[in-house]
Structure formats: C-alpha cells, structure tokens
Structure 1
Amino acid sequence: MKLSETRIDKALTQLTAQAVPENHPVIGQLSELFGDHTFFIDAGGLNIIEPPQTEDAGPGTGQVVKLARWFDETRTNLVPQEPEYTALVIELDRAA
C-alpha cells in the first residue's frame, strides 16, 4: 500500500529503516516487480507495509512484509523472495 507522508513519518519512528523516496530512479523497477507501494530499506532488505493479516491488530495499523533480501554483506544488490509477513505491526494512524 502507498503511505502518505504522515504515515511514512509515523512508520519510521517504529522501524530501523529508510523510506525509498518516490522520485528515486529505482522506484519504477520496484513498482514493476512488486506493485505500487511505499518501499522501505533496512539491514535485512526491502520491505513494504500492508494491512495486517492478524485479527488482533487494531485499525490504523500495518504489518511489515519483506519482499527482498540483500545478496551479500555489501548490501548493494537485492534478491526478490516470496513475500514474508513479519511479526512487526506498525501503528500508522496513532502517535507512536
């Protein structure tokens, strides 16, 4: 899902990651591969935030989904993987 600037800011207070800017040249390729999302890069790879799969997550939350991992320790190349819903649920509509 695409996040507003406000939601991106709230997510980043809860993640150790960087949002990939919308004007970054790689966004076109990422959108072709994974769809129209707000992308986040962290030490583990490439992630997005999607509506939670768990029923106990409240409204206004999102679940971190890992889409790609780093190829090696240089962290210069990503390898796509099956989407992996993580245990991390982010509060998007409330102050973190």
Structure 2
Amino acid sequence: MKLNAAQVERALTQFEAQALPDDHPVVPQLASMFGDHTFFIDSGGLNVLEPAETSEPETPVGMIVNLAYWTDETLTKLSPHEPEPTGIIISLESRH
C-alpha cells in the first residue's frame, strides 16, 4: 500500500517506526522485491501497511505486515521472509 504524506504522518503517530522516503536509494530495490509500498523500518525490521477489513467500511485502516527481520545487532542487515501480519492496526482516517 502506497501512502501519501498525510497518511504516513497518521501512521507514524500510531506505530513507532521510520518511513523510508520515496527517494531513498534502497526503495527501488525494495519495490522490486515487495511491490510498490511505503516502507517502514522499526526495531523489528522492514514493514509495510496492507489494507485491512474493519467493522466500519467507510473508515480506511491498514495492518502493519513485517517483511524482513534484522539479522545483526547494529540493525544494518535485513533477512526477508514470508509476510507476517503484526496485528497492529493503523487508522488512515483524516482527523478534521
């Protein structure tokens, strides 16, 4: 799921991570491996947001899905694995 700037900001208020900017040198490689997403890095590794079902269909939400774990203590190397839902639900609804 590709997020716009406002959605990234909303996600980061609900999930402790860093969003990789689209112009980051590693984003094209990640996109070729995992598809066109906004990528988030946290202490657990590489994550994306996937659309999720909710009891309120008019409220857009997504679930954080982990795609790769850190393989070193300095958090510089990632090891990809099958996508794993984290259970973290993010509301993308704008707050007026």
Q: Does 1:40 align with 2:28?
A: no
Per the alignment, residue 15 of structure 1 pairs with: 15
State the one-letter code of the partner of 2:22: E
Per the alignment, residue 29 of structure 1 pairs with: 29
- TM-score (ref. length: structure 1): 0.91
Deviations along 1:55-80, one digit per CA (max 9) or x if unpaired, are 54753111000000001111000000
| Percent identity over paired residues | 51
Per the alignment, residue 63 of structure 2 pairs with: 63
Ranges in structure 1 where 5+ consecutive residues have no aligned partner = none
Secondary structure of residue in 2 paired with 1:90: strand
Residue correspondences, number: 94
Secondary structure of residue in 1 paired with 2:23: coil
Deviations along 1:10-43, one digit per CA (max 9) or x if unpaired, are 0000111000010000001000100000000000
Q: Output the CA distance in 2 between the equivalents of 1:31 and 1:92.
A: 22
The Cα RMSD (Å) is 1.4
Q: Output the CA distance in 1 between the equivalents of 2:19 and 2:45.
A: 12
- TM-score (ref. length: structure 2): 0.91
Return structure 1 stretches of 4+ with deviation > 3 angstroms.
Answer: 54-58
Secondary structure of residue in 2 paired with 1:86: strand
